[in-house]
């Protein structure tokens, strides 16, 4: 509620909450009218179903009053009425912080044990892998997938093919500091790759690098441009440069293609050339701290040996 610039909305919400609870009570009270128990009213359905002028059942009313009492108790103890904080002073942030503190106290010593171990050893330690997996599922799945298999735009981390380097140290560096890739957009620079036609030609050349199906005549037209423009980052043979995170174009692994078929691949290459790409791996140093990143680096490093082809 502290986000509100004036007290007005706090009062507004608070009054609505209190008025609704009192309203429920009054509604219930208004049903407490004398009835003529057993008397048949004028409603009849399906010939035998009749409505009697009976009072509402006691247990039902009791339940209803109980909810009102519960609401009153709840609003006294917990925040809910405007900006009133509640007697227990509970906040979701407070609970979260307390849980984090508890977890740190519990896991701190274990984390410290692994922080002193080499990443290669962490990678094969079953207990460390179990913890790494928990961290993975909490912080990394949403982009890389639960099995680290990746997704369009988010790299597969279990295929042994590394954009930024697959040594234990490089992996840790990636997770700690994050990575920002920069592939220029050539869509607005007709002269550089020769406009939309040039982009198509270049896509055939790029596909030829990994031996995919392509048109050799179109590819040949783009070959000199590749050396002129692209080799600075991707290398003359298109093998990429891990210092820049520039893709290896010869391995048939396409970060941005929606499928492995030639059509999807070509479409994604043309889109890359026209719009550029800026894949970003967010830095985890601040959020997770060195010790947890160390465990994660071990977990990721060990993914390759989990029986997947690479």
Radius of gyration of the chain (CA): 32
Q: Which residue in the block uniquely carries the two structure tokens 């079953």?
A: 126
Comparing CA positions, the residue from 263, 257, 243 lying closest to residue 154 is: 257
Give me the least distance between CB of 217 and ligand HEC, in Å please.
17
Cα–Cα dist 220/225, whole Å: 10
Judged by CB under 6 A, the residue of 106, 280, 285, 306 near ligand HEC is: 280
Q: Does 200 bind ligand HEC (CB under 6 A)?
A: no
- Asked if 269 and 152 count as a contact pair (C-beta separation under 8 A), the reply is no
Binding of ligand HEC by 79 (CB under 6 A) = no
Among 176, 247, 291, 303, binds ligand HEC (CB under 6 A): 247
Nearest distance from residue 144's CB to ligand HEC, in Å? 6
- The residues near 227 (Cβ < 8 Å, ≥ 6 apart) are 236
If one asks whether residue 259 binds ligand HEC (CB under 6 A), the answer comes out as no
268 near ligand HEC (CB under 6 A): yes
- For 84, other C-beta atoms within 10 Å of its C-beta total 15
Is residue 142 a contact residue for ligand HEC (CB under 6 A)? Answer: yes
Do 209 and 238 touch, CB atoms closer than 8 A? yes
Shortest distance (Å) from residue 299 CB to ligand HEC: 7
Altogether, the residues listed in the chain come to a count of 310
| Contact set for ligand HEC, span 152-171 (CB under 6 A) | 153-155, 157, 162-164, 171
Which has the closest alpha carbon to 291: 128, 93, 137?
A: 128
Q: Which stretch binds ligand HEC (CB under 6 A): 4-12, 16-24, 115-123, 281-289?
A: 281-289
Nearer to ligand HEC, 245 or 302 (CB): 245
Task: Decide: is 277 part of the binding site for ligand HEC (CB under 6 A).
Answer: yes
Which range of residues in 20-28, 105-113, 116-124, 180-188 is near ligand HEC by CB under 6 A?
180-188
Q: How many other CB atoms sit within 10 Å of the CB of residue 176? A: 18
Give min distance, CB of 116 to ligand HEC, in A.
20
């Amino acid at each position: 509620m502290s986000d509100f610039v004036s007290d007005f909305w706090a009062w507004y919400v608070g009054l609505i909450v209190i008025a609704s609870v009192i309203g429920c009570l009054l509604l219930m009270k208004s049903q407490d009218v004398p009835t003529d128990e057993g008397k048949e009213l004028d409603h009849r359905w399906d010939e035998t179903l009749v409505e009697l002028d009976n009072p509402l059942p006691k247990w039902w009313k009791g339940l209803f009053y109980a909810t009102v009492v519960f609401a009153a108790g709840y609003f006294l103890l917990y925040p809910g009425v405007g900006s009133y904080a509640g007697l227990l002073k509970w906040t979701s942030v407070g609970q979260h912080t307390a849980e984090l503190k508890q977890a740190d106290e519990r896991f701190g010593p274990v984390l410290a044990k692994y922080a002193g171990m080499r990443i290669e050893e962490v990678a094969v330690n079953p207990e460390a892998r179990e913890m790494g997996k928990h961290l993975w599922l909490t912080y990394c799945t949403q982009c890389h997938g639960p099995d680290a298999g990746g997704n369009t735009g988010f790299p597969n981390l279990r295929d042994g093919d590394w954009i930024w380097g697959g040594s234990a140290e490089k992996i840790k560096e990636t997770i700690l500091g994050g990575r920002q890739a920069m592939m220029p957009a050539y869509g607005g620079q007709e002269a550089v790759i020769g406009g939309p036609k040039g982009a198509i030609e270049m896509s055939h050349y790029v596909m030829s690098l990994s031996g995919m199906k392509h048109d050799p005549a179109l590819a040949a037209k783009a070959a000199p441009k590749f050396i002129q423009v692209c080799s600075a980052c991707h290398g003359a043979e298109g093998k990429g440069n891990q210092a820049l995170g520039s893709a290896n174009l010869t391995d048939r692994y396409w970060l941005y293609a929606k499928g492995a078929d030639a059509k999807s691949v070509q479409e994604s290459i043309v889109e890359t050339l026209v719009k550029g790409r800026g894949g970003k791996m967010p830095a985890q140093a601040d959020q997770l701290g060195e010790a947890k990143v160390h465990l994660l680096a071990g977990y990721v490093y060990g993914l390759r040996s989990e029986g997947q082809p690479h």
